[in-house]
């Protein structure tokens, strides 16, 4: 006979008393952000907290990654993950605890640093879940693994931890679970089965012209004009080469050329970001980029062919359909069906899926609402969500601590306990 599942209410009872400490942790992390692979302070904080709770702690995995293991009797092994890194974005939220940190990126650029993607929320919520699950271990049976991952923003942190022997240090999980804060009303959860987050490819394109004086363009091959025509032509890929039922995003996020108004430069540089959910669509889009870049360069008569250099790349995140429905049911039973929505596929990207595919287990990864519900509702009524509710990576991205943090803790605990059984009386 299958033992009954653990009861969330019993385990979550201490959460009400943790509200202030959760906020303090969140404010501390938000005020002290760290770039990818520089998350030393955050990792140290996490390791100390987990050790105090009785977890077996492993540090320095994949650079700055931390993992904690809590073996608590027979049962499945569930892995929960949070990412720790911040972004090179100068904060403009006006919060009293806004980040004033500045740092230098790996490519030598000095910038303001902030948690513009909510990883401070993720770390705080997972620490809270680790706490209440450890405190309430008499109510469940199984093995819990909590992973605090570096460098999600580079798309390399999950691979780095796996390649550095994560699964030699912690048990192989039966499932990977996690969440990502989003600019929707706090208290809502978004769960979607199948392709849930897009895969991404970054490309650098170097266009080589022939420079000269701005007064004599006839003696040059102008890479600025070439860059402009290439940018415009690339915009036709999604509108004219991707089927209406498929999805893709092609963004030119960088265009660099020239040093002075009256000098036609020798070269221009484009930085591309491509998002797809399907491998066939990805192949088609990448081939179209190659064809267009080469074709525009040939039409311009460049003295040398363009150079296309692949950058960061990671696959789509595919939520296991059956496990997703199971998690949706558990969350709806706890929070109410109206609080658990299906957001559809998200065009943002996430490397957490690597932690699951590396050992061939399912993953369920959901969205956690983080915006002030009243402000979100007002913007929705006015039709100004795009203008009034900043998205992730915006310098104005500012999740509200309450009820975001409590909801994040509860969601993780409920999803975990749906897999764990209540301990046997025998």
Summarize pLDDT for 23-57 with one digit per residue, the tens. Answer: 999 999 999 999 999 999 999 999 999 999 999 99
Q: What is the mean pLDDT of the chain?
A: 96
Residue 298: enclosing H or E segment and its boundaries? helix 279-300
pLDDT greater than 60 at residue 372? yes
Using DSSP bridges, classify how beta strands 194-197 and 317-319 pair: parallel, antiparallel or unpaired: antiparallel
Percent of the chain having pLDDT more than 70?
98
Residue 314's pLDDT band, with cuts at 50, 70 and 90, is confident
pLDDT greater than 90 at residue 109? no
Torsion sign, CA atoms 333, 339, 343, 344: positive
Q: CA-to-CA distance for 146 and 244, rounded, in angstroms?
A: 40
State phi, psi for 68 to the nearest 5 degrees: -125, 140
Largest CA distance in the chain: 90
The answer to whether 145 and 79 are in contact (CB under 8 A) is yes
Residue 9's pLDDT band, with cuts at 50, 70 and 90, is confident
pLDDT greater than 80 at residue 426? no
Assigned architecture for domain 8-196+316-417: 3-Layer(aba) Sandwich (3.40)
Q: CA-to-CA distance for 329 and 320, rounded, in angstroms?
A: 14
Structure confidence by residue, pLDDT tens digits, 136-151: 999 999 999 999 999 9
Q: CA-to-CA distance for 99 and 395, rounded, in angstroms?
A: 11
Q: CA-to-CA distance for 174 and 420, rounded, in angstroms?
A: 11
Percent of the chain having pLDDT more than 90?
94
Structure confidence by residue, pLDDT tens digits, 336-358: 999 999 999 999 999 999 999 99
- CATH topology for the 199-314 domain: Alpha-Beta Plaits (3.30.70)
What is the pTM for the complete model shown? 0.92
Would you call 170 helix, strand, or coil by DSSP? Answer: coil
Which residues are bridge partners to 274 per DSSP? 201, 250
pLDDT number for residue 259? 96
pLDDT number for residue 375? 95
Q: CA-to-CA distance for 426 and 424, rounded, in angstroms?
A: 5
Strand ranges, E, within 234-357: 248-257, 263-264, 267-276, 307-314, 317-319, 340-341
pLDDT greater than 80 at residue 116? yes
Lowest mean pLDDT among 42-51, 276-285, 320-329, 415-424: 415-424
Q: Would you tell me how many other CB atoms lie within 10 Å of the CB of residue 299?
A: 12
Domain limits, the chain: 8-196+316-417, 199-314
- CA dihedral of residues 128, 162, 169, 367 (deg, nearest 10): 20
pLDDT greater than 80 at residue 312? yes
Nearest C-alpha neighbor of 420 from the set 167, 81, 54, 175: 175
The answer to whether 195 and 280 are in contact (CB under 8 A) is no
Average pLDDT over residues 196-225: 97
Average pLDDT over residues 71-85: 97
Q: CA-to-CA distance for 146 and 132, rounded, in angstroms?
A: 13
Residue 4's pLDDT band, with cuts at 50, 70 and 90, is low
Residues 6+ apart with CB under 8 A from 107: none
The answer to whether 307 and 205 are in contact (CB under 8 A) is yes
Lowest mean pLDDT among 5-19, 150-164, 251-265, 285-299: 5-19
């Amino acid at each position: 006979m299958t033992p009954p599942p653990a009861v969330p209410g019993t385990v979550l009872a201490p959460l009400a008393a943790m509200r202030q400490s959760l906020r303090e942790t969140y404010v501390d992390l938000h005020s002290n952000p760290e770039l990818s692979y520089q998350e030393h302070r955050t990792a140290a904080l996490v390791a100390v907290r987990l050790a105090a709770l009785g977890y077996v702690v492993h540090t320095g995995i994949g650079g700055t990654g931390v993992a904690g293991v809590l073996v608590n009797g027979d049962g499945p092994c569930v892995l929960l993950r949070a990412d720790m890194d911040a972004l090179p974005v100068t904060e403009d939220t006006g919060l009293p605890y806004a980040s004033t940190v500045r740092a230098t990126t790996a490519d030598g650029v000095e910038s303001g640093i902030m948690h513009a993607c909510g990883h401070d929320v993720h770390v705080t919520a997972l620490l809270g879940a680790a706490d209440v699950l450890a405190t309430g271990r008499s109510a469940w049976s199984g093995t819990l693994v909590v992973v605090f991952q570096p460098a999600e923003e580079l798309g390399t942190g999950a691979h780095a931890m796996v390649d550095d022997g994560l699964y030699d240090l912690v048990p192989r999980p039966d499932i990977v679970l996690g969440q990502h804060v989003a600019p929707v009303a706090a208290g809502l959860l978004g769960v979607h089965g199948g392709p849930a987050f897009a895969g991404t490819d970054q490309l650098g394109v170097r266009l080589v012209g022939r420079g000269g004086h701005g007064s004599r363009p006839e003696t040059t091959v102008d890479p600025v004009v070439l860059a402009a025509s290439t940018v415009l032509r690339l915009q036709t890929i999604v509108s004219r080469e991707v089927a209406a039922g498929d999805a893709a995003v092609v963004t030119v996020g960088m265009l660099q050329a020239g040093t002075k108004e009256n000098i036609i430069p020798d070269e221009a540089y484009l930085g591309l970001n491509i998002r797809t959910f399907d491998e066939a669509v990805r192949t088609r889009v990448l081939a179209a980029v190659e064809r267009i870049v080469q074709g525009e360069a040939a039409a311009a008569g460049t003295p040398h062919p363009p150079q296309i250099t692949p950058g960061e790349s990671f696959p789509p995140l595919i939520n296991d359909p059956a496990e997703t429905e199971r998690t949706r049911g558990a969350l709806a039973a706890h929070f109410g069906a109206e609080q658990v929505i299906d957001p559809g596929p998200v065009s943002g990207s996430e490397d957490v899926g690597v932690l699951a595919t590396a050992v061939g287990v399912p993953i369920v990864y959901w969205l956690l609402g983080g915006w002030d519900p009243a402000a979100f509702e007002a913007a929705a009524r006015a039709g100004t969500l795009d203008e009034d509710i900043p998205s992730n990576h915006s310098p104005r991205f500012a999740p509200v601590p309450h009820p975001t943090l409590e909801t994040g803790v509860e969601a993780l605990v409920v999803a975990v306990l749906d897999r764990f059984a209540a301990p046997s009386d025998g």
